[in-house]
Amino acid sequence: MSVSTEQQARAARAYIKEQLNTTKCGSEVLRDTDFLNRLDMNFITIFGIFTELYGYRNDCLDQLVDLIAMLAHNWRDRPKDLKEMDRRRELDSEWYMSNKMVGGVCYVDRYAENLQGIKDKIPYFKELGLTYLHLMPLFDCPEPLSDGGYAVSNYRKVKPALGNIDELRDLATELRKEGISLVLDMVFNHTSDEHEWARKAKAGDQEFEKYYWIFPDRSIPQAFEETTREIFP
């Protein structure tokens, strides 16, 4: 007898809640009805995507427990104003598709030199009627081989020439006060070879080697490059 994804998800959700209840942080989260409601609302989707990627692993469920625990930890520490924004958006789940959404996109350095320069432009963005601002890649990356900013070395560090992570956090807050959402590129399908994970993989750490495609020579990558379009020449 086959078991549906929904049935599997229900069993997994019960297991995850049981495991969360074994830790202090987890048990606190389980008493947070807002988090539980959000988890219940989205769990089948999370479960389906996660098992599609990692279902072949013996520790799939335990890894999913770790993911939910991480989400719970960040939810617990999420600022009150962001939680209130979450609630408003849940009432209109397609808010981002509204014809009232007006976006702008720019490179920080080319448009305003640095993050402070972007912050100074907020009144102008308001005048334009923007409701979201998409800043092109701004996280730390090697130069000149940055892949247009997409070869990220550290997701917790802004390029020094643009500012720092605290300035980025402050910019997001100030934009939000004016009704403008900040959009950033989060590049998850590759990193630079300077990233901590890449360094460990190159050093032979088997756990981190699993995070990357590693080939004995350049023959296979070169075969791909014969037909793959180069985005940033």
Q: What is the pLDDT of residues 41-55, one digit of tens each?
A: 889 999 999 999 888
Answer whether residue 233 shows pLDDT above 60.
no
Per-residue burial over 137-160, b = 16 or more CB atoms within 10 Å of its CB, e = otherwise: bbbbbeeeebeebbbbbbeeebbe
% of the chain beyond a pLDDT of 90: 52
Question: pLDDT class for 31, splitting at 50, 70, 90?
Answer: confident
| 26/68: higher pLDDT | 68
Q: Strands 132-135 and 181-184, how do they pair? A: parallel
pTM of the model as a whole: 0.83
pLDDT score at 151: 92
* Structure-token pair, residue 2: 């086959």
Query: Residue type at 37?
Result: N
Question: pLDDT by residue (tens digit) across 140-153?
Answer: 999 888 888 899 99
